[in-house]
């Protein structure tokens, strides 16, 4: 039995703004524990019988983040598949199923979101083993969570007839959208409903068979996208035109709601949370005696039942209850716990207003390391740049700005026009406008520099690349 995990990690995580941003969303953040949610998802696969290297489905903008986080977590054999367009979960999983069949015609797919918390990984592995038995018997299995409260932020699954010989397993009667409070309370009282976790396990071949029957257009477009896919460094790029032609549908809508093979396993004591909002993150945080979860440089006076997070500066509260307060270097969110679902609409407004705080925090990650804006004004900008050991920026030039680099930590190998020089701490170089240049870290420790830019235009799109070890071009700049 071969189980191929499929980790979906292309989401934007807007409900956890301002910490989660489009180009650095929640699955890459260490929100609950030392490792990021993506790293935790990959690590909990260890010890499951039959599990082989995972497939990760992401997008172009996040590809280097995915690769770096896997490397940091010690996951070296994963394959990263890039979606050229957002088409929800069904096309993504269909692409993974086609790729899985190239490895094993009888392969099972274990489909997992990358941004969930599971506090009991050993119990999770037990449920996966149970689901694998059902999947081998021809079921498309989803994992339901026994509800602990009438939650209105989750979808629900209604259990049908029990499956003999499989404790806690039922046919799926129906999938239900997020209910209002009264409906959710009725669901809990009936005992027939489970929270929809968005996790699945099934035969890749059976899923594609049902997709072809129920969504033939999607099935054909995904098949074409896989056949025409291209290798790009360590990534596999699905064909853009074919994949973009797919309808955008979830697994639930495309297949699970209509197939006679859908089954659900009722799970309990998993410590599961989809971290879909700041209040959900507060629920899995350890509170103090006043019911507060305080993270970072926070002082709370006469404050109760609040989640307060400081990323950059001191945050102090006095005389408040039931609040979410989240501070970053460039934005502060203050929300009542009962209204956190409105953050998505707030982020949409910021996006429509052209605010850059929707895309990135001040610290921006690149395949070679990161940079952080320190200060800016008319015709100048100051950045702190960190280059990973052995990494290098592209060989490039700028039409509108000059740059001054000062090394503050490590050793820099600098290409400056027709010269190549080594700089150590407290040494500097000046890059005139229009001069070809490159910054490299030849050492074994991170390189840190301060970059001062000056010129008439300082945007990131004023980069002309001549050579890049990460395959970036003007068309694929990230």
Q: Where residue 474 falls among pLDDT bands split at 50, 70, 90?
A: low
For residues 150 and 178, what is the distance between their CA atoms, to the nearest angstrom? 11
What DSSP assignment string belongs to 33-74? SSS-HHHHHHHTTTT-TTB-PPEEEEEGGGHHHHHHHHHHTT
Q: How far apart are CA 327 and CA 319, in angstroms?
A: 18
Question: How does pLDDT run across 22-44, given as a tens digit for each residue?
Answer: 989 999 999 988 899 999 999 99
Phi, psi of 390 (to 5 degrees): 80, 0
Sorting pLDDT into bands at 50, 70 and 90, what band is 228?
A: very high
Q: What is the pLDDT of residue 71?
A: 87
pLDDT, tens digit (0-9, with 9 covering 90-100), for 120-170: 999 999 999 999 999 999 999 999 999 999 988 899 999 999 998 888 999
245-301 pLDDT, tens digit each? 999 999 999 999 999 999 999 999 999 999 989 999 999 999 999 999 999 999 999
Structure tokens at 447: 């390189």
Cα–Cα distance measured from residue 376 to residue 373, given in angstroms and rounded to the nearest whole number: 8
Helix-, strand-, coil-residue percentages of the chain, each rounded to 5: 25, 35, 40
Please give the pLDDT value at position 360.
85
Query: What average pLDDT score do residues 50-54 get?
Result: 95
Instruction: Spell out the alpha helix ranges (H) of 365-447.
Output: none
Binned at pLDDT 50, 70 and 90, residue 50 comes out as very high
- Name the pLDDT band for 470 (thresholds 50, 70, 90): confident
pLDDT confidence tier of residue 368, bands split at 50, 70 and 90: very high
450-to-50, 246, 280, 389 alpha-carbon distances in Å: 49, 45, 38, 17
- List Cβ neighbours of 5 (8 Å cut-off, separation of 6 or more): 45, 51, 54, 55, 109, 110, 112
Residue 314 has pLDDT above 70, yes or no: yes
Q: What does the pLDDT look like over 383-424, one tens digit per residue?
A: 999 999 999 999 999 999 999 999 999 999 999 999 999 999
3-class DSSP state for residue 355? coil
Q: How confident is the model at residue 306 (pLDDT cuts 50, 70, 90)?
A: very high
pLDDT at 362: 85
> What is the pLDDT, as a whole number, of residue 478?
54
Domains of the chain from N-terminus onward: 3-273 (3.90.550.10), 278-350 (no CATH), 363-467 (2.60.120.10)
Q: 0.85 cut: is pTM over it?
A: yes
Q: How confident is the model at residue 476 (pLDDT cuts 50, 70, 90)?
A: low
CA distance 427 to 406: 6
Q: Taking a C-beta distance cutoff of 8 angstroms, is the pair 103, 109 a contact?
A: no
Give the pLDDT score at 460: 86
Helices (H), 106-172: 121-136
Nearest to 29 by CA among 17, 37, 41: 37
Express as a percent the part of the chain with pLDDT over 70: 99
Give the model's pLDDT for residue 144. Answer: 97
* 316 strand-pairing partners: 299
- Compute the distance between CA of residue 342 and CA of residue 299 in angstroms, rounded to an integer: 26
Whether the ω angle into residue 87 lies within 30 degrees of 0, i.e. cis, is no
Q: Residue 190: enclosing H or E segment and its boundaries? A: helix 181-190
Q: Tell me the C-alpha distance between 392 and 256, whole Å.
A: 46
Of 253, 111, 247, nearest in space to 175 by CA: 253
């Amino acid at each position: 039995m071969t189980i191929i995990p499929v980790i979906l990690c292309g989401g934007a995580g807007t409900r956890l703004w301002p910490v989660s941003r489009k180009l650095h969303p929640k699955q890459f953040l260490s929100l609950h524990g030392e490792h990021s949610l993506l790293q935790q998802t990959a690590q909990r696969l260890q010890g499951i019988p039959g599990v082989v290297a995972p497939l990760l489905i992401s997008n172009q903008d996040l590809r280097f983040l995915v690769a770096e986080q896997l490397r940091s977590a010690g996951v070296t054999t994963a394959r990263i598949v890039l979606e050229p367009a957002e088409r929800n979960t069904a096309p993504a999983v269909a692409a993974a199923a086609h790729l899985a069949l190239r490895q094993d015609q009888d392969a099972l797919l274990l489909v997992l979101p990358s941004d969930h918390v599971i506090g009991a990984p050993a119990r999770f592995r037990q449920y996966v083993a149970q689901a694998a038995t059902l999947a081998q018997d021809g079921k498309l299995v989803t994992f339901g969570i026994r509800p602990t409260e009438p939650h209105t932020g989750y979808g629900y699954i209604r259990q049908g007839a029990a499956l003999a010989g499989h404790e806690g397993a039922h046919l799926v009667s129906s999938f239900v959208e997020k209910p209002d409070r009264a409906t959710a309370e009725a669901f809990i009282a009936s005992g027939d409903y489970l929270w929809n976790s968005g996790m699945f396990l099934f035969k890749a071949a059976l899923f594609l068979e049902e997709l072809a029957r129920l969504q033939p257009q999607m099935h054909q477009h995904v098949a074409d996208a896989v056949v025409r896919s291209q290798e790009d460094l360590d990534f596999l790029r699905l064909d853009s035109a074919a994949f973009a032609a797919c309808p955008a549908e979830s697994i639930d809508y495309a297949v699970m709601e209509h197939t006679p093979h859908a089954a659900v396993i009722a799970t309990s004591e998993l410590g599961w949370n989809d971290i879909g909002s700041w209040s959900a993150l507060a629920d899995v945080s350890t509170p103090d005696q006043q019911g507060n979860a305080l993270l970072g440089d926070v002082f709370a006076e006469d404050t109760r039942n609040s989640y307060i997070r400081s990323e950059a500066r001191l945050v102090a509260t006095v005389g408040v209850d039931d609040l979410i307060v989240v501070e970053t270097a460039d934005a502060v969110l203050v929300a009542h716990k009962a209204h956190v679902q409105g953050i998505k609409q707030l982020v949409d407004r910021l996006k429509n207003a052209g605010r850059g705080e929707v895309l990135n925090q001040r610290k921006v990650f690149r395949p070679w390391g990161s940079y952080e804006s320190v200060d800016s004004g008319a015709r100048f900008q100051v950045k702190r740049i960190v280059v990973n050991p052995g990494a290098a920026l592209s060989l490039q030039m700028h039409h509108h700005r000059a740059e001054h680099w000062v090394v503050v930590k490590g050793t820099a190998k600098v290409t400056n026009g027709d010269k190549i020089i080594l700089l150590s701490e407290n040494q500097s170089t000046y890059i005139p406008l229009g001069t070809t240049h490159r910054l490299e870290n030849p050492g074994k420790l991170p390189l840190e520099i301060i970059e001062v830019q000056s010129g008439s235009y300082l945007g990131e799109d004023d980069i002309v690349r001549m050579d890049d070890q990460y395959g970036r071009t003007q068309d694929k700049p990230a």
